[in-house]
């Protein structure tokens, strides 16, 4: 595995990619995984359609799947780290089976548990997460070669006939902001953003 496609892709930055994603959004839902993925989502500018996980490592994609099933007309993006996804690889098979076409998954892959001290994940250097996703049945899975390719893949996913997974290699930088850790308010605002609840 010395020549995986992952190694031919540019090493990008999580916050920069998150900003690029958020800049093009209207009323789409975005689920940010534990730690840096949701810190950078927060830092890219809070919007009521964002949901920030404060624990439950590995559940960004399952939560996004639930949103996608409940609201099939709304595009749902999920941002997850490679270490987090390793906690819950089985969800890729579930998502491939249910195949919601309104779900776009982004895996931010730096091969490390950045937030706990940058220890390498067990997959670092050996496991190609996009190849894993394809083998799970997610045919529209690919590595983004660079920032332009990332934006192109995001756009392409909006027209896709099934779920899309985009792998991005990122650097070892920590998250840019810190999400306000108020779970009830996060959930309440998200439900408002999803149009299912009015704020008090």
Q: Which residues bind other proteins (CB under 8 A)?
A: 29, 31, 51, 53-59, 61-71, 74, 88-91, 93-94, 97-98, 183-184, 186-187, 190-191, 194-196
Q: Which residue, 40, 38, 56, 172, is CA-closest to 117? A: 172
Closest separation in Å from C-beta 86 to other proteins: 13
Q: Considering the complex, state which of residue 83 and residue 111 has its C-beta at the smaller distance from other proteins.
A: 83
Residue 38 · residue 53 · CB < 8 Å = yes
One DSSP character per residue, 71-117 reads -TTS-EEEEEEHHHHHHTTHHHHHHHHH--TTEEEEEEE-SEEGGGT
Closest separation in Å from C-beta 102 to other proteins: 11
Residue 69 · residue 100 · CB < 8 Å = yes
Q: Considering the complex, state which of residue 38 and residue 142 has its C-beta at the smaller distance from other proteins.
A: 38
Using DSSP's 3-state secondary structure scheme, residue 144 falls into coil
Closest separation in Å from C-beta 74 to other proteins: 8
Q: Considering the complex, state which of residue 51 and residue 150 has its C-beta at the smaller distance from other proteins.
A: 51
Closest separation in Å from C-beta 70 to other proteins: 4
Tracing tokens 């892959």 back to the chain, one arrives at: 109
Q: Considering the complex, state which of residue 35 and residue 111 has its C-beta at the smaller distance from other proteins.
A: 35
């Amino acid at each position: 595995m010395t020549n995986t496609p992952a190694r031919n892709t540019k090493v990008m930055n999580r916050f920069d990619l998150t900003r690029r994603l958020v800049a093009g959004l209207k009323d789409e839902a975005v689920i940010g995984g534990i730690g840096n993925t949701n810190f950078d989502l927060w830092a890219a500018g809070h919007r009521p359609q964002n949901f920030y996980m404060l624990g439950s490592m590995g559940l960004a994609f399952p939560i996004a799947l639930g949103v996608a099933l409940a609201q099939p007309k709304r595009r749902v993006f999920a941002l997850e780290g490679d270490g987090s996804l390793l906690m819950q690889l089985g969800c890729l098979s579930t998502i491939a089976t249910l195949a919601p076409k309104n779900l776009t998954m982004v895996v931010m892959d730096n091969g490390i548990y950045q937030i706990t001290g940058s220890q390498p994940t067990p997959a670092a250097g050996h496991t190609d997460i996009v190849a894993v996703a394809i083998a799970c049945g997610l045919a529209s899975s690919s590595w983004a070669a660079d920032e332009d390719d990332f934006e192109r893949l995001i756009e392409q996913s909006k027209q896709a006939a099934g779920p899309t997974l985009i792998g991005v290699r990122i650097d070892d930088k920590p998250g840019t902001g810190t999400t306000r850790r108020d779970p009830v308010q996060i959930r309440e605002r998200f439900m408002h953003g999803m149009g299912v609840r009015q704020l008090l």
